[in-house]
């Protein structure tokens, strides 16, 4: 799906208050779950420890095909997120959240910086511009070169910001990847021009919409520029052997909204 194909659903990328938010975040429940309106429910992490509570204000049935088509541009189950959605419950919960604590992480704790911590570190590096680089793979030599050139181009700092949540099946595990990022940052980059931090985000493989979402997230972490290459957040080919998204559709969509979100696109081929 090219960027032009998103025109019919572009207004659906906004919250009720008009804010741009291209990927919905929902909480589905099993159909047999007994949850009542106006009651608190506990939200737990993978260790079954409570991290937040939600006051349930809505319980509603959601339309899988409509959601898939509007957000991901397809209902094809070859798309990994569409396949996963078929395992979700048929009802969503909505309501006010009260965060009690963030999930505990014990690996690479020195790199797990919050948005506020990241912005503070970047401000101390004395460069006005910050170029963020999104990755779920090890960096190869071309990545190294383009990230260095991007930082030089805007006379700024590189925010190397790899995703360490759920990624695409077959990806290299993040423990291995983070070790490679640490080695690169230590030995192949100017330490005064790079900040390595980890992003605990699950990939949706949503192509153009995900690129826009990633740009918004990086703005919250202090980035002024965002590198987007060919096939950003691509799930590969559909059941007919054709790409789900055009190779440069992500660049086109982000460029359309860069003034609004305050993040400049740095396109690479």
Alpha helices in the chain (DSSP H): 64-72, 80-85, 115-123, 141-153, 174-187, 208-220, 249-261
Let me know: does 59 contact 93? Beta carbons within 8 Å. yes
- CA atoms of 30 and 216, how far apart (whole Å): 31
- Active site annotation includes 48: no
What's 88's DSSP letter?
S
Sheet arrangement for strand 156-162: 194-196, 156-162, 129-135, 225-228, 264-267
- Active site annotation includes 136: yes
H and E: helices and strands count for the chain: 7, 9
Distance of CA 261 to the CA centre of its chain: 15
- Active site annotation includes 135: yes
Q: Which of 136, 204, 209, 218 is the catalytic position?
A: 136
Residue length of the chain: 269
Q: Which of 53, 70, 92, 137 is the catalytic position?
A: 137
Q: Which residues are catalytic?
A: 135-137
């Amino acid at each position: 799906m090219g960027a032009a194909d998103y025109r019919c659903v572009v207004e659906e990328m906004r919250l009720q208050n008009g804010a741009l938010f291209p990927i919905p975040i929902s909480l589905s429940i099993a159909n047999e779950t007994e949850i009542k309106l106006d009651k608190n429910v506990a939200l737990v992490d993978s260790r079954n420890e409570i991290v937040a509570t939600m006051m349930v204000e809505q319980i509603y049935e959601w339309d899988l095909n409509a959601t898939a088509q509007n957000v991901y541009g397809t209902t094809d189950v070859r798309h990994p997120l569409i396949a996963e959605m078929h395992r979700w419950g048929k009802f969503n919960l909505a309501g006010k959240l009260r965060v009690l604590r963030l999930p505990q992480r014990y690996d690479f704790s020195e790199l797990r910086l919050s948005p506020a911590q990241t912005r503070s570190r970047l401000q101390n590096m004395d460069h006005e511009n910050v170029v963020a680089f999104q990755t779920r793979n090890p960096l190869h030599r071309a990545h190294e070169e383009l990230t260095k050139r991007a930082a030089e181009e805007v006379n700024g700092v590189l925010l190397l910001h790899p995703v360490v949540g759920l990624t695409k099946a077959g990806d290299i595990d993040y423990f291995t990847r983070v070790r490679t990022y640490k080695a690169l940052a230590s030995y192949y980059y100017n330490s005064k021009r790079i900040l390595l931090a980890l992003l605990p985000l699950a990939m949706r493989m949503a192509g153009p919409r995900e690129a826009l979402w990633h740009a918004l997230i990086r703005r919250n972490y202090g980035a002024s520029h965002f590198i987007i290459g060919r096939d950003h957040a691509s799930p590969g080919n559909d059941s007919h052997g054709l790409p789900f998204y055009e190779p440069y559709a992500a660049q086109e969509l982000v460029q359309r909204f860069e003034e609004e979100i305050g993040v400049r696109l740095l396109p690479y081929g």
